[in-house]
Amino acid sequence: MRVAFLGLGIMGHSMATNLVKAGHEVTVWNRTPGKIVEGAAIAPTPAAAAQGAEVVWMCVADTDAVEQVLFGADGVEQSLTQGMIVADSSTISPFSTVKFAERVRSKGADYVDAPMTGSKIGAANGTLIFMVGGNEASIDRIGPLFAAMGKKYFRMGDVGKGQATKLAMNLQIALIFEGFAEALTLATKLGVDPQKLLALIDATMVKSGVVEYKGPFILHRDFTPNFPLRLMHKDILLALEAAKEARVKLPGLETVEEIYEMATEDGNRDLDYAATLTLLEKWAGVQVKSEAA
């Protein structure tokens, strides 16, 4: 398929690369010039990238960035044609997504929201899992692109439901990790080896994918950004915003958001979100690491 891929960040670069490897004709654009994807053409603007494309795929930072890419100066809107599909893998407001879709559809194109999970490693390995909202026929049509970038996709309903699902998923990740980080901090302060605690967790009902994935990084003090803290904080704020509009109370997430705010002020915004642990460590006067590290 002829694909315009817009946004070559931590996730987008690998996603575009995998589309090229799968044999698709890819043109890329990135807000900051200089990034390339081997085998892909480079366009100077989103509008230029979208010219003649069957599918425009976005993976940018936030709601404002998506709006700018679509409808700003030199935006995709200028190049929309009948039958084109715009797919968005950014994590943004579900309410804004519905508005963006209406405007895109008014030009004869269709819109699919397709945020994903799997982190930097999943993007590199082509094993992402997508949460998708939109017209079933359009989703089926871009199935080969999902297959090139991931291992599975779930249609969650109409446009906006993919984004709503992603916020619910990241809410759980943030809460699970916070519980894990607090448990590690307390155990360390009480003299328990974190490596032994991890082995116990793995053997019990407390086991989770979040713990299994993040545990080894923590024990080796590796906070390289697989999922930057600033982006998780953005998603937490989006979830709280959506909850407020839907009149849903999220007291646990409200507390975790305060942790992220303080961790940001502490200089950790560009580290992995696991670096929220360092704030707990500072308060406790301990450092969580493997005794063998």
User: So which residues are the catalytic ones?
Assistant: 166
| Region for 126 from its dihedrals, namely left if φ exceeds 0, alpha if ψ lies in -120 to 50, beta otherwise | left
3-state secondary structure the chain: CEEEEECCCCCHHHHHHHHHHCCCEEEEECCCCCCCCCCCEECCCHHHHHCCCCEEEECCCCHHHHHHHHHCCCCHHHHCCCCCEEEECCCCCHHHHHHHHHHHHCCCCEEEECCEECHHHHHHHCCEEEEEECCHHHHHHCHHHHHHHEEEEEEEECCCHHHHHHHHHHHHHHHHHHHHHHHHHHHHHCCCCHHHHHHHHHCCCCCCHHHHHHHHHHHCCCCCCCCEHHHHHHHHHHHHHHHHHHCCCCHHHHHHHHHHHHHHHCCCCCCEHHHHHHHHHHHHCCCCCCCCC
CA distance 139 to 162: 12
Residues 143, 149, 155, 161, CA torsion sign: negative
Length of the chain: 293
Strand-pair partners of 111: 86
